[in-house]
Chains A and B, each alone.
Chain A
Amino acid sequence: MTPPSGDARSQNSGQATVPPPERALPYVDMDSKAFWTGGERGELLIYRCQECAYYVHPPVRFCPKCESRKVEPEAVSGKGYVTSFTVNHKKWVPGLPDRYVLALVSIAEQDDVRLVCNILNCDPESVTMGMPVKVLFEQHEDVWVPFFEPEAN
């Protein structure tokens, strides 16, 4: 298998002798299926109220703003910004890169939709609060995991 673009090896100066750890995959249910599989078509799908346009995440067919049940997955721009992040230094398991970023990214369309992610394809030390980012996907089994990278890439 070709290493996906966000693979740890691309962050690791070619030092890795142990392959990066598996991505633990989420349990996918009826509500979360759109989010975890939209990447197959390159789409970041977020539930949105068809009555008042509010994005509902985590996904459920109920709008907490207007109580509408007409809530459906819609592709968003895939752009967002880093709401918070941490640079991990600890080798929790073999194969992890020396540094990696865990972040919360708010989607450009709505601040209070926060996606947990890693920020890939950049020096972990270069990530900053508020940094503009864009989505990319890695396929793992039947799940297309959304990650983000600097919008400037």
Chain B
Amino acid sequence: MASYPEKNVAITGVGMSEVSRGATKSPLELTVDAAMEAINDAGLKRADIDGIATWPGNRGDASGFSSVGTHDIQDALRLKLGWYAGGVEGPGQYAAVFNAVGAIAAGLCRNVLIFRTMYEATARKTSFANSLIKPGRQVGAPWFAPYWGYAAALNQALYFNKYAHESGIKPEQVAQIAINQRRNASLNPNAVYRTPITLDDYFNSPIIATPLRIYDCDVPCDGATAIILSRMDVAKDLKNPPVRIEAVGSSMQYRNSWAQLDALDTQAQPKVAEMMWSRTDLKPKDVDMAQLYDGFSFHTINWIENFGFCKRYEAGDFIEGGKRISLEGELPVNTGGGALSGGRLHAYGAVHEACTQLWGRAGDRQVKGDPKVVATSTAGGPLAGAMLLVRD
């Protein structure tokens, strides 16, 4: 196997602020909490951090989608940097990680702070309108603009309805994603929603946009997540066993358009997964658990399939009854409750949970058998990113 640069990079620390439906702190202070926890977790000092990366950067709006950028946290922590970057154009939320891998390989920095801060719960309480998609903004604008496509749920339901139609997945199978994750969240003290739900609860919940019910949608929250990415020679001397980035998938082999993307039912995931698997000798059968993007339950279903854990259009059978994806199952999925129950930390919650599990710190929800290999993924529509994380 070629020596890809991600193999010379490891996650060495993680941090998470309080996660809630209404924060007691500002977005920047939440970010400071997560960043300092991650730096301390890695056994580093502020002075050791010489890079920062984030996605999508400070939006400068009141939506709460991203109100903290690299400059905000650099100044708050008074960091001295060799490299920094934040921006929205890239393979989803993991663009920040992939950029940092490149910067470390280029010798620009050794320890990179990566963070993602959400403040959508408070933003929606202040003004729900702030969180709705407006002209010139976000998903597919301007082509979506006049058509009352107010939210990602509505626009992305176009993919999920197509998938449901093509695959024949049953609603009671789809429900297992939400039910499983709520069960996992019940064992996670930091999760936003912790009361288990049943199939009846699922079917009694409101439909947002077919085929999505409210339990299929992630939970807007206030919270920040941070991870430290270190060059491997540095990582080896730090206190946590390095969580190596075994392989990344960052490709864009399709039309990068929310309306014109090549395959509506799979979105951009298959080629991204293919790229990830091409950069490792590991196979889907070697994966101990999966922390998959779950902006909507269907994203997770799509990733199960597109990562190759089951065949095309067979994810419904794979998750039927929920046992296989449970903490005790052959492929535990979204073990901390994910964004559906843990809170919409937007992909970095999943990375945090992967490391928490790989370091054996997950308490009541710890997956048994000393897990070492985690498949993680992010985003939907034309955006997709994938990583395989390994603790040796």
Contact = CB atoms under 8 A, between A and B. Distances in A.
Given A25-B135, A102-B209, A88 B145 contact: no
A30 interface: no
Given A90-B209, A102-B154, A58 B148 contact: no
Nearest to B261: A114
A27 B145 CA distance: 9
| Most A-side CB within 10 Å, residue of B144, B161, B209 | B209
A25 B162 CA distance: 27
Nearest to A22: B146
Interface in A102-131: 102-104, 112, 114-118, 129
Interface in B161-194: 161-162, 165
A84 to B, nearest CB: 4
Contact of A86 (B142, B143, B209): B209
B8 interface: no
B79 interface: no
A89 B209 contact: yes
Given A90-B153, A92-B132, A116-B140, A84 B162 contact: yes
B149 interface: yes
A92 B148 contact: yes
A26 B149 contact: no
B162 A88 contact: no
Contact of B142 (A26, A87, A93, A103): A26
Contacts, number: 105
B234 interface: no
Interface residues of B, number: 38
Interface in B253-307: 257, 259-260, 264
A140 B145 CA distance: 12
B146 A145 contact: yes
Contacts of A114: 259-260
Given A83-B264, A84-B158, A24 B257 contact: no
Contacts of B148: 21, 23, 88, 92, 96, 100, 102, 118
27 contacts: A21-B148, A23-B145, A24-B135, A25-B135, A25-B145, A27-B136, A32-B142, A58-B260, A86-B154, A86-B157, A86-B161, A86-B212, A87-B209, A87-B210, A88-B148, A90-B208, A92-B151, A93-B129, A93-B132, A93-B150, A96-B148, A104-B259, A115-B143, A116-B144, A129-B162, A143-B146, A145-B146
Interface of A: 21, 23-28, 32, 57-58, 83-90, 92-93, 96, 100, 102-104, 112, 114-118, 129, 140, 143, 145
Interface of B: 129, 132, 134-136, 140-151, 153-155, 157-162, 165, 206-212, 257, 259-260, 264
For the complex of A and B, list the 4 residue pairs with the smallest distance between their C-beta atoms, beginning with the closest: A26-B142, A86-B157, A92-B150, A24-B135
